[in-house]
Structure 1
Amino acid sequence: MATSPLLHAGPAVGFDQPFDMLLACHERVQRSLDLLLRLQAHAATQGADAQARDAARDVLRYFDLAGPKHHEDEERHVLPRLRAAGRTALADRLAADHAEMGRQWAVLRTALEALRDGHGPGPDAAACQAYADLYAGHMAAEEGEAFPTAAHQLDPATLAAMGAEMASRRRAA
């Protein structure tokens, strides 16, 4: 297994461009999901070796810290705009995805913590794939429909306020 990629690297995007920041987060989500899938395959054959423990630590860090902040950004700034635009079904689906991601993550998290600590076989392959598949469909809906709809005709002051709120919550953490 290769060394874990830097999970917080990505395009040089700031909170002054909040929708670009959300898209950049999706790139980091995808890298973390790819790492999760590689980790699962590695742990299934190599066990809880040093590389598996390091990768488990990286996956846990991303989905425990950055993932929930990203979902909160969407729930505060994207879903209400979808509802206001008459796209309630899409907003409800994305909110339900967030809840299901939380349920699936709780199961994966337990297996990843054990692996990180040097115990257990690691996460189940089917559970990892289901999590990655759920995220893939979710991100596709956001990038293809939700973000463009939510961003439609937002003025610079509204975008600046959105970005400032997102940044402020991260500084407060």
Structure 2
Amino acid sequence: MKATPVTGRPSPEPLQAGSGYAEPFELLSACHERVQRSLDMLERLNAHCASHGADARAASAAADVLRYFDIAAPLHHQDEELHVFPALEAGGDAALADLCVRLRAEHRQIEQRWQTLRPLLQDLIDGRLDLRPLADASQTFIDIHRLHLLDENDQVFPAAESTLGPAQQHDMGLEMAGRRGLDLSGSAAPGSR
């Protein structure tokens, strides 16, 4: 059986200017793919540490996971909370509005669990490994993401995308880019030419 590498370097950087912000829901979905790859890497990291300890490969993978969840994940949650959830909460569908309330609460739980996991990953990078707490904190962090991502992918994103018109999605994309330090304000809104 071929071993799955520990590393994989999910990119914390946003897609290149103009390549995703014009289609913000595609960008949000791509972010979910990167979240899943980072969670998969975290699982492989724990398996690797159980067999090999805190070696250089483990430290590299831990640094990749840290970078993603320190930089890109918080921006992604802001995107959802500023654009996606409000559109659904204002849409009049009580079930979707309730789901958005739950997903916001899960964002807070994810942030709290990250504050537990983060120092354990940093310890691994620094050559200190306490395997059991790292494995437990990792699994808890992974578990909370699983249903969360499914609910957003299967229910929330499609509903919000059909609710927000092209001009609203354009503005959403500009604001998402702006939070990442990109100025795309010179791009024209759909139908404005």
Q: TM-score, normalised by structure 1?
A: 0.92
Residue 22 of structure 2 aligns to a residue whose secondary structure is coil
Alignment of 1:82-101 (within 5 A): 82-85=88-91, 86=93, 87-101=96-110
Give the C-alpha shift of residue 94 in structure 1: 0.5
1:166 aligned onto 2:176: yes
Which structure 1 residue ranges, 4+ long, deviate > 3 Å from structure 2?
A: 9-13
Residue-by-residue CA offset, 1:93-128 (whole Å, 9 max, x unaligned): 100110000111111101000001111235532322
Give the C-alpha shift of residue 80 in structure 1: 0.5
Following the alignment from structure 1 to structure 2, what is the Cα–Cα distance between the partners of residues 153 and 135? 25
Count of matched residue pairs:
172
Following the alignment from structure 1 to structure 2, what is the Cα–Cα distance between the partners of residues 43 and 160? 44
Work out the percentage of aligned pairs sharing the same amino acid: 46
Q: TM-score, normalised by structure 2?
A: 0.83
Q: Point out the more displaced range, 120-129 or 80-89.
A: 120-129
For the pair shown, the structure with the greater C-alpha radius of gyration is 2
The structure with the largest helix share of the pair is 1
Following the alignment from structure 2 to structure 1, what is the Cα–Cα distance between the partners of residues 15 and 75? 18
1:28 aligned onto 2:34: yes
1:2 aligned onto 2:5: yes
Following the alignment from structure 1 to structure 2, what is the Cα–Cα distance between the partners of residues 10 and 40? 27
| RMSD (Å) for aligned C-alpha atoms | 2.0
Q: Which sections of structure 2, spanning at least 5 residues, go unmatched? A: 183-193
Of the candidates 41, 44, 60, which is equivalent to residue 38 of structure 1?
A: 44
Alignment of 1:8-87 (within 5 A): 8=11, 14-85=20-91, 86=93, 87=96
Give the C-alpha shift of residue 3 in structure 1: 5.2
